[in-house]
Amino acid sequence: MLKQYDSISNHIPKHTSHKFSSFPKERERYNIAAITKMKFFKQFSNILVALSATMPGSVFTATAADVTYDFPAATASDFIVSFCVIGASDASGSSSINTLSYTALPVGNFENGLKLYGDRSYVLEGVDDDTICKDGIYLRPSKIRWHPTGTDITVNATLDNVETCATICALLDTVELTTGSYKGGFDVSLPAAGFTETDEGLSFASQPLTSYCKDVCYEEDLPQGSASGDPHFKTFNGHFFSYHGECDLVLMRSVQHDITIHIRTTRVDHPRMSYSYISNAAVQVGQDVLEVLEDGKLLINGDSFASDHDSTTARFGQYELVKTKKGSKKNIISYELDLGNGRLISIRSNTNSGMLFVDVDGDFADSKGLLGKPGSAGDDMGLYSRDGSIDMRNNWNSYGEEWQTRSGDDPMLFQKARAPQYPVGCSYDSSSSNLRHSGRRRLMDATGMSEDVASKACANAVAGKKMEFCVADLMMTGDVDLAEDPFYLQ
């Protein structure tokens, strides 16, 4: 399966301090970088030779798409929108209504005099050598306007043999956007979706056009490992298991990428329910260490950081750490560390239950720890001891104990040490301090959740193990909001 993401966001300028900054400032920098990048996109494109042999004005059929972008539904019936796609060998457009279709015109057609719409004779004006769409495939709509409110439009692109991204631009009637009664909502929804607005001097019949452009890229399905809930684990090679000991554990380490991730598990025993959860998570990249606490607080190299913004960024070594709030009640605090090349570490704290969720995406070929090593059908699918000699699959308590952190072998990433520490083994009894989290006390005092209620709350969870984990975690914690965590949903 192919994923889409905004590649330009990977090039947002880095901060020079650890202080958080709000996204609006970053967006301003992003817009400048994005416009500059797209203006000179043709310097980096290598359109297939076969396309140059295609006669101007001819129509070709799109093949299976590498990237697909679903545009926001139109919020009004009177809107004018066409598209161009740069960096693709083929492209197509479709809509949710049979009266609106798109004809793909190959590279070389986006010139002055191009007929813009299928049912009008309006022609394009103002194209020059720097026009973004000049080296793109134009998708001409069959009809200029009067489409039903709620119309959905999808653009597909087959990437050329060099680029891993295609730039998709929507061309909108500027007058309609600024003074017309019906705008389709695109003047609001497209910038909100990460599109960059620019006026290139394009027009038709003396009506100016505004371009909204965004890079849409793909990456192959990469390994993903997770730790979550009561703690449940999904290894890089697809095994699911649970481990309920209380101790510090090596979730993953990669010498090749100089990354180590530790988690701290905590047990809770109460007359109404008993369970365990991840209360702390720490990530070391090079010499820098971040730690997320169960209440969502963040430490970077021992210093505490706080922000009133729902969406903020912080500098972490050479990387950006992005904080957002998720869930219908905004009680999931999420931290994402994008290491590049598809490698992403996500740590989420549910502030109601105090549970942490950790996702590790990407190919860490030399990975060791609870998440194991990446692999697929035909590969060695084992989960091994520290010395690599014993496949410990299905011996989950022993496997968890094997990856308890050990002084001398593993660094202490957490700011405060907590018992048990090796050589004292992981504990299967809780300590009296584990009920101090106010949200957890409220949950403990509440009536237990029935399987029926939990199953309904978990209706959107992925069928199979994740659905089972979701239902079990809700029944044990009584926290219906847990079902909103992405771990269960994807």
Residues recorded for the chain: 490
pLDDT, residue 6, reads: 39
Q: What is the pLDDT of residues 26-56, one digit of tens each?
A: 333 333 334 344 443 333 333 332 333 333 3
Task: Give the integer Cα–Cα distance in Å for 193 and 72.
Answer: 9
Q: Could you tell me the two tokens for 221?
A: 């399905």
pLDDT, residue 404, reads: 98
pLDDT, residue 440, reads: 44
pLDDT, residue 431, reads: 59
pLDDT, residue 59, reads: 32
Residue numbers in the chain where pLDDT is lower than 50? 1-64, 432-447
Beta bridge pairs of residue 215: 167
Peptide bond into 420 cis (omega under 30): yes
Q: What is the layout of strands, in order, in the sheet containing 298-300?
A: 248-254, 259-269, 274-285, 288-292, 298-300, 303-305
Task: Give the integer Cα–Cα distance in Å for 36 and 24.
Answer: 19
Q: Which of 464, 322, 355, 421 is nearest to 27 (CA)?
A: 322
Task: Give the integer Cα–Cα distance in Å for 352 and 349.
Answer: 9
State pTM to two decimals: 0.58
pLDDT, residue 271, reads: 65
**Contact by Cβ (8 Å): 323, 313:** yes
pLDDT, residue 21, reads: 36
Task: Give the integer Cα–Cα distance in Å for 272 and 254.
Answer: 40
Handedness of CA 8, 11, 13, 14 (dihedral sign): positive
Q: What is the pLDDT of residues 48-84, one digit of tens each?
A: 323 333 333 333 233 345 788 888 877 777 677 889 9
**Contact by Cβ (8 Å): 473, 276:** no
Handedness of CA 84, 89, 95, 101 (dihedral sign): positive
Beta bridge pairs of residue 348: 334, 357
Backbone phi, psi, residue 266, to 5°: -135, 135
Task: Give the integer Cα–Cα distance in Å for 442 and 445.
Answer: 5
C-alpha gyration radius of the chain: 26
Q: Could you tell me the two tokens for 109?
A: 């057609």
